[in-house]
Structure 1
Amino acid sequence: MKTELLSLSKFFTENLFRIPDYQRGYSWTETQLKDFWSDLTLLAPNRAHYTGVLTLEEVNQSDFERWPDDLWIIHSKNFTPYYVVDGQQRLTTSLILIQAILEAAGPGVELNYTSSEEIRKKFIFESKDKGISRSYIFGYEKDNPSYEFLKTRIFLEPSDTHSTDEETIYTHNLEAAKAFFLEQLKGKTHGEIESIYTKITQHFLFNIYTMSPGIDVFVAFETMNNRGKPLSNLELLKNRLIFISTLITTDTTERARLRFAINESWKTAYHYLGKNRSKPLYDDQFLFIHFQLYIGRKTDRGPDNENRIYLRRRPEALYKHILLNEIFTTRNINGAVGNRFKIPLTLETIYEYAQDLKRCVKTFYEVFNPEDSNFTTEQQEVLNQISRLGWEHTEPLIIAAIHTNPSPEALTSLLKNIERYMFVRTFRPYVSEFERVDFLELATDLVSTQATVESTATSIHQTIESYINRNPVRTMSDDWSSKGHYSWDGLNYLLFEYEQDLKRYGKSPRDKISWPDFTSEDYDNDYETIEHIYPQRARDKYWTSRFSKFSQRQKRILQDSLGNLLALSRPKNSALGNLPFPIKRDGTGTTGGYIYGSYSENEAATYAEWTADSILDRGIRILNFIERRWGLPMGDTAVKTRFLGLDFVVAMAEKRNVVAATTQATPAPLPSDQALEADTPAGSNPAESQPAPSTRRN
């Protein structure tokens, strides 16, 4: 190897730089950009900064002959074309910064006695005889989606193609990097901008290595990228497949076609993984799920075969090893040496794998973004519900099911059974008898046996019903912690679904609570999205007058019982939650009350007072909803009361009634099956039980 220590200004002289197709795209995020900017701004004048290694490979003539836009500058001006094997992230960042500097300085401005036109000519592009032919000094190969994006959105050059920019995670990173630098340069004087330009072009030094002919560039690429920001497994696999494609014995046209197919599949993958900017998907998560489905089809049938046992040991730790060291290795070319899955690497099998990955990523994206799909409205909602519950490794089964092209009814049934299973298991934790559903095993059966979507849905349904039949409803004291229902992991999901159910019977179709806001952890600790209606710090006379008859333990149970927990339409300062109920309900001049809040808050506002009877009443209302929504029997009113841990409320009421009867007074109405199933408050489900009449507003 030749090695030199050069500045950008020196090695951007009569050289062209291209990022080859086996390289990943631009992966730096704000963390790396801040470090880069810090190195730049803290560098003292006239001091040099060692930026790192830049490894280059001189491009063969057979390769650059495929670059029609660059042939003139290579042949006529003797520019030397190089592939950037290692260091492309630092190099790309430097060029983005130079472009940002030019934009911040403005047109016609000189930096270090050099016009902006001359700077662009040195670092961005050369023009042929000042005509329309341009050769870009640095960039991607032309079939890379980042090529057009870098040219048009970063360098602000016109496009010669009719197609719009194709966006991926990598193009989003390019755009974010430019926005970052423009923000840092905003408001700086000409002298400050000129100083930054001097540092990046003159004082940031790269250790330039030019690889000697004969060195395996693909192996070198993998080795070099073990340092710095590591390559994802998806990025490593692309490099490996392209490498293997160069070694397969076939004609040149077939090899070129295979390489093109691999690039197109990965281009599609990164397009979908980054398509939703607000919720980008993780490439290694996708590769792991695709691996499970692809290898699942290659395993022997039945749960007891050796390969399945091997895969189930530690699948997330094993899958990279299996892909890169057992299947896609050079020793398996045209054979299956030491390959337990007996997959020979031929042109056909690699092509099949790339096409399968390309097909899978679209479905993967749609499962996580159901609104941008052809799923029915009901299927979209259930997928969102499963997402709120946390997926729990259900994705392979869902994707496998979709790929069997089931009827809409069959797919909807499967999704509903998955969501129901996840809720029931969350709602009744710590029960050893609950037979866990192995979603990965079901997915493997779906792609490798005669299993159907219908039979899979039935299997999950039977597991749920068997569990329900074996396990009666527990009381709160059975396994709830000292924080009662408030400590339950599934509380947000339950209250959100209850809110959605109330919305269906309300006058407005709009959502008043969004799931991201409801579950966000960005709010200050003093702000809440779930409120204790009877507050945890209940010192106001309103609360002490109504709850002083209860012991401290009973007060804590009431505070953390299900009926006392309320989903708020917006985070509220926890101090407001200590106010008397009438103020919380009706609001003040500056603070909106429950009557202006979520559907759940609107329902709470129908109560005239907030007492222990109200907490019991609303808790039973929510348990009735659980029965109806998930088909989970919760028992009669007495059993539900015990589940809520509020037996003492009923006992105290009964005691009052006995006293009232002995004094011939009219007894206070007690919660009963009949009373709790009477008339429905406005905005609630008529099928639900109701508050005791004495607690309702007239």
Structure 2
Amino acid sequence: MTTQGFGAQLLDLPAIFLGNFFTIPDYQRGYAWEKKQVEELLKDVEHLMSDGAALRHYTGTLVLGRPLGGAEGEFHVVDGQQRLTTLVIFLRELYERLPDDQKSSFAELYLQRGDLGNERSVLRLNSDTRTFFERVVLVDGNTEHCPISLEAQQRLLDARNQISSWLDEQLNAGVALQAIKQTLELRLGFLVYAPKEDAETGIMFEVINNRGKPLSELEKVKNYLIYCCVKLSANTLRESIDQDWSEILKALNVAKKTSSGDEGAFLRYCLVVHFKLNKTDSQYGYEELKKRISLDKLLAKPESKTQAIKRIAGFVVFMKTAALWYQRLYGPVHHGLEQGIIDILDQIRAQGRHASIMPLFLALVIKLGGKGERLQKLLRLLEILNFRVYMARNMTARNDTGQGDLYWYAARYYHGGLVSEVSPEYRKMGREFVESDEDALEFFLVDFVHAYAAEGRFKASFTLDAESPDDFYKWSGLRYFLMNYEAKLQPKKTIQIDKILLSVNGKKTADYFSVEHIWATKNRVGDGENNRKQDWYQRRRLGNFVLLELRLNIQGCNDDLEDKLVKYLAKGGDEPPTDLQQVRKMGSDAAAVMSSMEGRQRRINFYHDLYDELNNRQEQRYIDFAESRWSLKGFLGNKKILKESAEMVAEEA
């Protein structure tokens, strides 16, 4: 096949495909088009079918590379792979609907060529999606023998289904199949460039794909690392990166962390720990990586090649291990983990806010091998820190306060030497010894918690000033707090703490715990009754809230307390009463308070006084629980800080 005419004119699909084979190199991203991009292509085809002009329509550009040692007509798709892949899917769906006498020549041109037993797809995708593309998307769409494990695979199948539906709609509307075929083959025009390729020009790793789908930071990093392998002639490492990257993407898919933002965050955390990036530099991870693996510098001396290869391999292995822990945390996939570790992972996952602690989390689980009592203790401290500093109400002015320090601790701990940062006078405190990096990390994290969420401030965060506009119902940590409280009340019962991550939409009411106002915002508000400033204050206090099964909340959300308790606690009926101990405790309090108020006329202050007393009782229980549940007692450094606090109070007195 000759490449004459490439780049000089708009070529149609038969001219592009005739005698050629195309491969998406492994350094390229997976299939990234979503419904919007596929729909735009289909609209282009519709417009061309309704346009009577005979001119070709510019559809896009293809940049093709000639692989070293490749046969005539063998091309790598450097740019334009998304559109080309989508068109091949389109052609496959068109083939399915063609008359039998047209199928053979059509398939040989666009889909598959070769003798029986030696057939080869005209378009081969990268190794991550090749098998799925050829066995599912280009066959019958059945995933039974090739299950979906990557988001790119799902997008390929979605594109197939979308195009299939569009074709059926067109044919049902009376559009001729041959009209669609002629439009695809003769009216779509491409500019095709095929420069001679060597080891460098074949790796255009920063190419931006069509239709506003730029490469993510994670994709750029993969492409750069493979580019480095080509420059270093490290073929085995290149193959290893392809395999490991597939595992990374599969793990992120299991963790449901596949958006561009999620992938970018994952990359930042890995760079912070592995390459000791600070918080600011981590925002420019791809550029910073190129500085730390700079080929110009590393290749300046021949002996630097080994160093470069080891540095690349080490980072990829770290990312693969980090992705595995993402899968364990968010999946969750807990095979082979100690029960104590699983319990803490459940707690951390349920917190839902991890940006500040994730580098520390990865540093700990990877360095300590994912097991051991020391790891359990440090992860528990991390959960305490995350709740007290970043989830408790109004502890910090910003969500990323102190984040730079935590990132520094993560990097320094992972690479060793953190213990040297502890002042000598604190190395031995009574019976406490700071002897290892684990000791030092524990010491620094305790100090961090006291700096941003000291005991007094933490305790005060659970009470509400009457003049404050805050409302505990709007506190993002409320459901996490109440789920932990329920777990404490029922220690022998398994409380699925991450039920708080469930959405009410589409869930059975028995599976979803809602937050219930004991004194509902719409209860007894009419005609000015109980609608005063002091009444709204009672409705906003922490003590006014409990978890409740959604089915019960729906039944009595705005009723008087006496009527609610009958629905929540009474035996019998079609539905059992609440299974939540915190509701039972609230019911017990309510019965006692109402008994003490028996005989009082229910005038304007009656409900205020009733709920004020209930709030006082429940709020105190909540505070006592919080001080115990998220206590720093037993951690290194706490005695030192408490001693200093006591001395400071004494001096002020």
Q: TM-score, normalised by structure 1?
A: 0.70
Mapping for residues 128-139 of structure 1, pairs under 5 Å = 128=115, 131-139=116-124
| Residue-pair matches, total | 569
Q: 1:577 to 1:551 in 2, by over 3 A?
A: closer
Q: Deviations over 1:511-536 (max 9, x none)?
A: 5982232588999xxx9943323121
Supply the AA of the counterpart residue of 1:366.
R
Which residue does 2:242 correspond to in 1? 263
Q: 1:343 to 1:410 in 2, by over 3 A?
A: farther
Cα pair 2:544 2:615 within 8 Å, conserved: yes
Give the Cα–Cα distance (whole angstroms) in 2 for the partners of residues 595 and 464 of structure 1. 40
Q: Deviation of residue 28 (structure 1)?
A: 1.7
Give the Cα–Cα distance (whole angstroms) in 2 for the partners of residues 512 and 472 of structure 1. 22
Q: Which moved more, 1:237-246 or 1:146-155?
A: 237-246
CA RMSD across the alignment = 4.2
Supply the AA of the counterpart residue of 1:461.
V
Which residue does 1:18 correspond to in 2? 23
Q: Deviations over 1:198-253 (max 9, x none)?
A: 544443332222224579525645245498311122222222233233333xxxxx
Q: 1:621 to 1:350 in 2, by over 3 A?
A: closer
* Secondary structure of residue in 2 paired with 1:352: helix
Q: 1:539 to 1:420 in 2, by over 3 A?
A: same
Q: Deviation of residue 593 (structure 1)?
A: 8.1
Tell me which of 285, 292, 296 is aligned to 1:319.
285
Cα pair 2:205 2:227 within 8 Å, conserved: no
Which residue does 1:31 correspond to in 2? 36
Q: Deviations over 1:448-506 (max 9, x none)?
A: 22343343234323544575356584384559841332233322321232344445456
Cα pair 2:272 2:278 within 8 Å, conserved: no
**Is 2:264 the partner of 1:284?**
yes
Which residue does 1:624 correspond to in 2? 624
Supply the AA of the counterpart residue of 1:614.
L
Cα pair 1:13 1:122 within 8 Å, conserved: yes
Cα pair 2:217 2:264 within 8 Å, conserved: yes
Which residue does 1:692 correspond to in 2? none
Supply the AA of the counterpart residue of 2:482.
L
Supply the AA of the counterpart residue of 2:161.
A
Q: Which moved more, 1:201-210 or 1:467-476?
A: 467-476
Supply the AA of the counterpart residue of 1:272.
A
* Secondary structure of residue in 2 paired with 1:374: coil
Mapping for residues 517-666 of structure 1, pairs under 5 Å = 517=502, 529-539=514-524, 548=529, 552-570=532-550, 577-587=557-567, 595-596=577-578, 600-601=582-583, 604=586, 607-608=590-591, 611-612=610-611, 613-631=613-631
Give the Cα–Cα distance (whole angstroms) in 2 for the partners of residues 34 and 602 of structure 1. 54
**Is 2:445 the partner of 1:460?**
yes
Give the Cα–Cα distance (whole angstroms) in 1 for the partners of residues 305 and 409 of structure 2. 23
Give the Cα–Cα distance (whole angstroms) in 2 for the partners of residues 193 and 529 of structure 1. 55
Q: Deviations over 1:598-622 (max 9, x none)?
A: 6655655555568413333333332
Q: Which runs of 5+ in 2 are unaligned?
A: 1-5, 419-436, 595-606, 634-653
Give the Cα–Cα distance (whole angstroms) in 2 for the partners of residues 215 and 344 of structure 1. 19
Tell me which of 478, 484, 497 is aligned to 1:497.
484
Q: Deviations over 1:9-41 (max 9, x none)?
A: 442222211111221111122332333334344
Which residue does 2:417 correspond to in 1? 450
Which residue does 1:669 correspond to in 2? none
Tell me which of 373, 381, 395 is aligned to 1:417.
381
Which residue does 1:154 correspond to in 2? 137
Give the Cα–Cα distance (whole angstroms) in 2 for the partners of residues 554 and 618 of structure 1. 18
Q: 1:596 to 1:349 in 2, by over 3 A?
A: closer
Cα pair 2:395 2:458 within 8 Å, conserved: no
Q: 1:19 to 1:449 in 2, by over 3 A?
A: same
Cα pair 1:481 1:487 within 8 Å, conserved: no
Give the Cα–Cα distance (whole angstroms) in 2 for the partners of residues 441 and 353 of structure 1. 18
Give the Cα–Cα distance (whole angstroms) in 2 for the partners of residues 369 and 10 of structure 1. 47
Which residue does 2:362 correspond to in 1? 399
Q: 1:138 to 1:479 in 2, by over 3 A?
A: farther
Which residue does 2:295 correspond to in 1? 330
Cα pair 1:561 1:615 within 8 Å, conserved: yes
**Is 2:312 the partner of 1:350?**
yes
Give the Cα–Cα distance (whole angstroms) in 1 for the partners of residues 322 and 240 of structure 2. 15
Which residue does 1:487 correspond to in 2? 474
* Secondary structure of residue in 2 paired with 1:83: strand
Supply the AA of the counterpart residue of 2:538.
L
Give the Cα–Cα distance (whole angstroms) in 2 for the partners of residues 371 and 503 of structure 1. 26
Tell me which of 474, 480, 484 is aligned to 2:460.
474
Q: 1:255 to 1:529 in 2, by over 3 A?
A: same
Q: Deviations over 1:27-74 (max 9, x none)?
A: 1223323333343445443455432111112344x135xxxxxxxxx6
Give the Cα–Cα distance (whole angstroms) in 1 for the partners of residues 180 and 562 of structure 2. 61
Q: Deviation of residue 188 (structure 1)?
A: 6.0
Q: 1:427 to 1:222 in 2, by over 3 A?
A: closer
Q: Deviation of residue 102 (structure 1)?
A: 4.7
Q: 1:185 to 1:559 in 2, by over 3 A?
A: farther
Q: 1:620 to 1:346 in 2, by over 3 A?
A: closer
Supply the AA of the counterpart residue of 2:74.
P
Tell me which of 81, 86, 90 is aligned to 1:93.
86
Cα pair 1:533 1:564 within 8 Å, conserved: yes
Identical amino acids, percent of aligned pairs: 21
Which residue does 2:156 correspond to in 1? 174
Which residue does 1:374 correspond to in 2? 336
Q: Deviation of residue 134 (structure 1)?
A: 0.4
Give the Cα–Cα distance (whole angstroms) in 2 for the partners of residues 472 and 366 of structure 1. 31
Q: Deviation of residue 412 (structure 1)?
A: 0.8
Q: Which runs of 5+ in 1 are unaligned?
A: 65-73, 75-79, 249-253, 297-310, 634-698
Q: 1:140 to 1:462 in 2, by over 3 A?
A: same
Q: Deviation of residue 257 (structure 1)?
A: 1.7
Give the Cα–Cα distance (whole angstroms) in 2 for the partners of residues 344 and 436 of structure 1. 38
Give the Cα–Cα distance (whole angstroms) in 2 for the partners of residues 49 and 605 of structure 1. 73
* Secondary structure of residue in 2 paired with 1:235: helix
Q: 1:285 to 1:510 in 2, by over 3 A?
A: closer
Q: 1:322 to 1:280 in 2, by over 3 A?
A: closer
Give the Cα–Cα distance (whole angstroms) in 1 for the partners of residues 549 and 362 of structure 2. 34
Q: Which moved more, 1:26-35 or 1:146-155?
A: 26-35
Give the Cα–Cα distance (whole angstroms) in 2 for the partners of residues 448 and 479 of structure 1. 49
Q: 1:343 to 1:349 in 2, by over 3 A?
A: same
Q: 1:399 to 1:484 in 2, by over 3 A?
A: same
**Is 2:216 the partner of 1:232?**
yes
